[in-house]
Amino acid sequence: GQQLNQSPQSMFIQEGEDVSMNCTSSSIFNTWLWYKQEPGEGPVLLIALYKAGELTSNGRLTAQFGITRKDSFLNISASIPSDVGIYFCAGQVSGGGADGLTFGKGTHLIIQP
């Protein structure tokens, strides 16, 4: 099935560093969502974006909905150990959601002590 192009695949960083990851698509999405998934659990919603150009923050997390509607990025500032996990971007075309979410393959974030 279709997937978004998410990069990087993995990140090895030091605690306290800032993190940036992004997602691109060849097609337009009208909603972008960012999720975090930890082992043995389902994805947890971090940030939802509904308008092109929108910039939204949730604590140390900031995400933007690209102006072309074909990309989004997520930044994490001052990383801490509990930020470890897999981060997924997800896009949706229709407002009613009947087309479901299209996910990226995820970015594995690993924080070295």
* 45 part of the interface to another protein, by CB under 8 A: yes
Which residue among 43, 71, 73, 85 contacts another protein (CB under 8 A)?
A: 43
Rounded CA-CA distance 64/14 in Å is: 24
Q: Which stretch binds another protein (CB under 8 A): 14-22, 35-43, 56-64, 66-74?
A: 35-43
Burial letters 74-113, b for 16+ CB under 10 A, else e: bebeebeeebebbbbbbbbbeeeeeeebbbbebbebebee
Select the residue interacting with another protein from 13, 48, 52, 84 (CB under 8 A): 48
Residue 88 CA to residue 108 CA, distance in Å, equals: 9
Q: Decide: is 90 part of the binding site for another protein (CB under 8 A).
A: yes
Provide the binding-site residues for another protein, judged by CB under 8 A: 1, 3-4, 6, 31, 33, 35, 40-45, 48, 50, 88, 90, 92, 95-106
